[in-house]
Amino acid sequence: MKKAVLYINQFFAGIGGEEKADHAPEIREGLVGPGLALKTNLKSAEITHTIICGDNFMGSNTEEAIAIINGFLEGIDFDIFFAGPAFQAGRYGVACGTICKHVENTFGVKTITSMHEENPGVEMFKKDTYIFPGGKSAAAMRKDTKKMGILGDKILAGETFLEAEKEGFFVRGIRHQVWREDGVEAADRAVDMLIKKMAGEEFVSELPIPKLDRVPVAPPIKDLSKAKIAVVSSGGIVPVDNPDKIQSSSATRWGRYCIAGEASLKSGVYKTIHGGYDNTVANANPNVVVPIDVLRKYEEEGKIGKLHDYFYATVGTGTAEGEAARMAEEMIPYLKEAGVDAIVQIAT
Amino acid sequence: MVKTFEKAGFPIVLMCNLIPVATTVGANRIVPTVSIPYPLGNPELSEKEQLDLRYHRVGVALDSLTTDVSEQTVFKVKI
pLDDT in tens, chain A (348 residues): 899 999 999 999 999 999 999 999 999 999 999 999 999 999 999 999 999 999 999 999 999 999 999 999 999 999 999 999 999 999 999 999 999 999 999 999 999 999 999 899 998 999 999 999 999 999 999 999 999 999 999 999 998 778 888 899 998 877 777 788 888 999 999 999 999 999 999 998 887 766 667 899 999 999 999 999 999 999 999 999 999 999 999 899 999 999 999 999 999 999 999 999 999 999 999 999 999 999 999 999 999 999 999 999 999 988 888 889 999 999 999 999 999 999 999 999
Please answer yes or no on whether B37 and A277 come within 8 Å at the CB atom: yes
Q: How far is A235 from chain B (nearest CA, A)?
A: 9
**Closest CA of chain B from A305, distance in Å:** 12
According to DSSP, the residues that pair with A4 across neighbouring strands are: A47, A80
CB contact under 8 A, B28 and A215: yes
Q: A73, A5 in Cβ contact below 8 A?
A: yes
pTM: 0.75
What angle do helix axes A292-301 and B47-64 make, rounded to 10 degrees? 60
Rounded to the nearest 5°, which phi and psi values hold at A152? -55, -45
Residues in chain A closer than 8 A to B23 (CB atoms) = none
Cis peptide before A85 (omega within 30 of 0): yes
The CA-CA-CA angle for residues A67, B14, B38, to 5°, reads: 60
Cβ-based contacts of B19 with chain A (< 8 Å): none
Residues in chain B within 8 Å Cβ distance of A297: 55
Mode of pairing for the β-strands spanning A237-239 and A270-272: antiparallel
Q: Are A152 and A112 in contact (CB under 8 A)?
A: yes
Say whether residue A287 is in contact with chain B using an 8 A CB cutoff.
Answer: yes
Q: What pairing do the DSSP bridges indicate for beta strands A26-29 and A255-258? A: unpaired
Neighbours of A240 (CB within 10 A): 13
Nearest to B36 by CA among A292, A234, A324, A322: A234
**How many C-beta neighbours within 10 Å does residue B64 have?**
24
Structural domains of chain A in order of their starting residue, each with its CATH number: 2-167 (3.40.50), 224-346 (no CATH)
A277 contacts chain B (CB < 8 A): yes
- Could you give the ipTM of this predicted complex? 0.98
Rounded CA-CA distance A338/A315 in Å is 23
Distance in angstroms (rounded) separating the CA atoms of residues B61 and B27 = 13
Chain A, residues 43-62, CB within 8 A of chain B, namely 56, 59-60
B38: which chain A residues are within 8 Å (Cβ-Cβ)? 281-282, 288-289
Which of 92-111 (A) contact B at CB < 8 A?
Answer: 94
pLDDT number for residue A137: 93
B11/A287 Cβ within 8 A? no
* Alpha carbons B64 and A91: distance in angstroms, whole number: 26
What residues of chain B lie within 8 A of the CB of A90, using their CB?
Answer: 21
